[in-house]
Each structure stands twice: as structure tokens, then as C-alpha cells.
Structure 1
Amino acid sequence: MNARKRDFQDVLDPFQIEIDWFILDFPSLLIKVSPVLEEPVKSQVRNTIKRLKLNDDDDCVKHRQDWLIQYCKGKITFEFLKETAPFIAYELERQNLVESIAFIMSVT
């Protein structure tokens, strides 16, 4: 991600990002801008998603999918998901999907 960020000023500093600025859409696993944000933060989040290719790079989406499928299949615990993929785990909790995500993802 640092290579993609380079010196561009339109990428948010990870230390300045507040909780719920980015949301994870299920089942697409695309990262989206929180609809409750106001400008200019909304534009900054959108620019960060675009600049870092968080949805355009198939590897990024596949990586999220791999972690989620492992959880859905019971190969990893939710606690392990929290440690290794905290954004995915947080979004599952925030959206109240911890128990139902396997059904949504069509994984049993």
C-alpha cells in the first residue's frame, strides 16, 4: 500500500482515520465510503479507496474473501479473524452478521 500511496496527498493517514469512515459491503467485499460522512471527509475516503486500489485490485478483494471464507467454513475462529483481519471482523460485528455471514456468502 505504501508503494501505491507514494507522495500523493489525497490518501488519508492511517493514524487520522476514524472508526466507521470505511465500511465493508457484504457479500461483494468491496470497501465503501460511510454514507453518514460529510464533505470533505467523504471525498478523502473515496480518494483513498481509489488511490490504494482497495476494490480495483483483485488481490485485495481476494485476500478479504479468503479470510472470510476460512471463517465461514469454521477453519478459523472469530477471535483469530479479529487478530488477523480486524476490519472484516469489526464490520461483521457492526453489521450484526457474525452468525449469519456463512449463509450470506453461500458457504456451508
Structure 2
Amino acid sequence: MIRLSLAQEPAGFDELVRKPGLRALDEMVGNPVIRTAGKKFKVVAARKQDIKGTDFPAYWTEALPDLLKCYGRLCAYTGFYIHKVTGSPSVDHSVAKTKDWRLAYEWTNYRLICSLMNSRKGVKNLLDPIAVQDEWFELEFVGFQVVPRPGLDGPLVAIVQFTIDELGLNERACIEVRTEYAEEHWEDQTNKSWDRISKRCPFVAREMDRQGRKQGPL
């Protein structure tokens, strides 16, 4: 994993996501709302904190095009490029909807991740990519596995390893993707191949550079 810099809230987010989302939650607990159009929601709970996660209207999907653009189509957890057509991008709530309904429709709470990572993350207390520091994760180039950087203190090592394990970052498919990007650069050894890996697999690129494994032009 690499540290994620929070992108600025895009124009239109308030009208597309925040306002309709919060208005829907008001309606779902019986609060009076002013509506001009759109779906009408039934009362499902007495308090917003009691609304089930599956009942929250998915207005956050309206933010997906902006998330893809702002974050270069990179999954916040794997650091892999989410390909068009074959990729499956999704919006992750860093703080789960059921833990704080007030963040359900907030840009700052959204992370772009692939659907596989979204399903694995669930509501687990994993590291937030925005809080991750560059010196926390390391790539070892024998098996292309992600490991905690040596020198971290015990509690930090535990949460770093927990995040790696729960997301399956060292499962075969993830290892193969890292290997393919690295070997492509090593075989090509051009600036073009380096630009590609830097944009589409930046964690591997960073570790190659840090560990002296970046190759120059032939």
C-alpha cells in the first residue's frame, strides 16, 4: 500500500450525492422534507443511526466517475490500475455507514477500490490509505509479497500485517500482477515502461526505486 492524498471535492458533488443522500435519510426516519422530484423513501427506522447499511440509498455511486478521474483509476488498497471494461471499480466508505451515518454521503469518506477489495474489507478496522505512511509497507522481490517495513513498533506491525492478511494482498493473483509489471520493466528497460509502472502500479515502482531495482534505458 501507498499513502493516498485526498483529492479535492469535485464540483457538483453536493447536488449529486450529499443533498439527496441526507434528504433520503431524513425521509427514512420520518422527518419532513421538501422534495421536487425523485424517489420517495419509506420510513424504516426511528433514528438515522438505526438505519441498516443495506437500506442506505447508494447515491455515492454518482461520485464514481470523479473518483476514477481524481485517483487515476488506482485501487486505494492494492495500488493496481482498475482497467476499463474488465475492471470493476467501487466506492468504499472508509468509515462504515452503520458506524457514522453522517459520513455516508461525504467525499472525504470515499475511497476508490476494486470490488474484490471492497467485499473483503467489509467493516473491518483496517488501515485507511489516507493515514498510511510510506515507510510502513515494503515489497520483497523474491516472492513479490507485501510485508511490514522492518523497524516498525509492535502494535503498528500488527495492524499493518492484519491489513495485508484481511485484504489478501499476498494472494496469488496480487503477486502475479506485481511480478508482471516489474518484469515488463526489467525486460524493456525504457522510460516508457517506467512511466507505465509508475502510473499503473505505483507501489511496485516506489519499491523498485527505493531498493535500487529500477532499470535505466538500454
TM-score by length of 2: 0.43
Deviation at 1:90? 0.2
Q: Tell me, what secondary structure is at the counterpart of 1:3?
A: helix
- Asked whether the 8 Å contact 2:186–2:215 carries over to 1, the reply is no
* Partner Cα distance (1:3, 1:14) in 2: 16
CA-CA distance at 1:14 after TM superposition? 0.8
CA distance in 1, matches of 2:172, 2:208: 21
2:152 equivalent among 37, 41, 47: 37
In structure 2, distance between residues paired with 1:26 and 1:58: 14
Q: How high is the sequence identity, in percent, across the aligned residues?
A: 29
CA contact (8 A) 2:185 2:215 kept: no
Matched, 1:46 2:161: yes
What is the rounded CA distance, in whole Å, between the counterparts of 1:52 and 1:73 in structure 2? 30
Show the counterpart of 1:72: 186
1:98 aligns with 2:214: yes
Match of 1:19 among 134, 151, 167: 134
Question: RMSD of aligned C-alpha atoms?
Answer: 1.6
Say which SS state the counterpart of residue 40 (structure 1) adopts: helix
* TM-score where L is the length of structure 1: 0.83
Partner residue, 1:2: 118
Distance 1:95 1:65 in 2: 15
- Find the counterpart in structure 1 of residue 173 from structure 2: 59
Q: Which residue does the alignment assign to 1:89?
A: 205
Deviation digits for residues 34-81 of structure 1 (CA, Å, limit 9, x no counterpart): 1111121111001001101111x2111111111112112218521221
Please tell me the residue identity of whatever aligns with 2:123: D
Q: For 1:63 and 1:80, locate their aligned partners in 2 and report how far apart those are by CA, in whole Å.
A: 13
Match of 2:48 in 1: none
SS of match in other structure, 1:73 = helix
- 1:27 is displaced (CA, Å) by 2.4
| 4+ residue runs over 6 A deviation | none
Q: Secondary structure at the match of 1:93?
A: helix
